[in-house]
Amino acid sequence: MAIVEIVKYNGTPDVFAWKFPSEELGTWTQLIVNESQEAILYKGGQALDLFTAGRHTLQTANIPLLNKIINMPFGGRSPFTAEVWYINKVYSLDVKWGTATPIQLQDPKYKVFIPLRSFGQFGIQIDDSRKFMTKLVGTLGTFNKNDILKYFRGLFLTKAKDAISSYLIKEEISALEINAYLDELSEFLCQRIKPTMDDYGIKLLNFYVNDINVILYLLEELTAVSIVARR
């Protein structure tokens, strides 16, 4: 296979990580990294040299970690094999989340159990490329928004249920009133989820709860309880 002369990626903001299709490189190969990108060389499943924005010639001087493994001669033109992964570090602010099935919570004011659904969106940025690649991407050929949601859906649903329940109890707010407190609840949830995202090299920029819906027939029942309670 011919040695690749230029390695680059001009993808969409939806893709957080992408693997260059060829592994046949050389010490004359030009590695082009755009703004808001980083590139990592892999060999034998190990993350080695990292490149920030700019045009890089893959010489022994700027691939020291890879050079230790394959012992390329200094100077001259040397072919070698390695994987090149691009990591997109641009802000992604419109990742949607939601509870596919209702979550059961007890209304702290009226002491009845209610099913509700919650929806919103959040923003992220890849903060630590090595950690992100090691813990999440693995052997996939690409990693995008759908993959983020697939990997973290369980986390979001668990945290959303626990945080909404805790917030309702802590503030003694009825489910009838919760939509008036979405800003505070969003910040409460963001602080609960952020440490876990940090563990995967992802910076959680924000986390918004846009709406909380109580199942209609139970909302009517809860409203009736509220009216009776005020009499």
Q: Work out the burial of residue 75: count CB atoms within 10 Å of its CB; fewer than 13 is exposed, 13-18 middle, 19 or more buried.
A: exposed
3-state secondary structure 111-161: CCEEEEEEEEEEEEEECCHHHHHHHHHCCCCEEEHHHHHHHHHHHHHHHHH
216 pLDDT band (50/70/90 cuts)?
very low
Binning pLDDT at 50, 70 and 90, where does residue 34 land? very high
Q: Looking up tokens 């010639």, which residue turns up? A: 57
Q: List, for residues 166-184, the tens digit of each pLDDT value.
A: 887 788 888 778 888 899 8
The CATH homologous superfamily for domain 92-230 is Band 7 domain (3.30.479.30)
CA dist., res. 76 & res. 3, Å (int): 15
Q: Is 96 helix (H, G, I), strand (E, B) or coil?
A: strand
Q: Global pTM? A: 0.80
**Where, residue-wise, is CATH 3.30.479.30 in the chain?**
92-230
pLDDT, one tens digit per residue, over 58-105 is: 988 889 999 888 877 766 678 999 999 999 998 888 888 887 778 787
Q: Give residue 45's region: left, alpha or beta (phi > 0; psi -120 to 50).
A: left
Q: So what's the pLDDT on residue 52? A: 95
Q: What are phi and psi of 29, to 5 degrees?
A: -65, 135
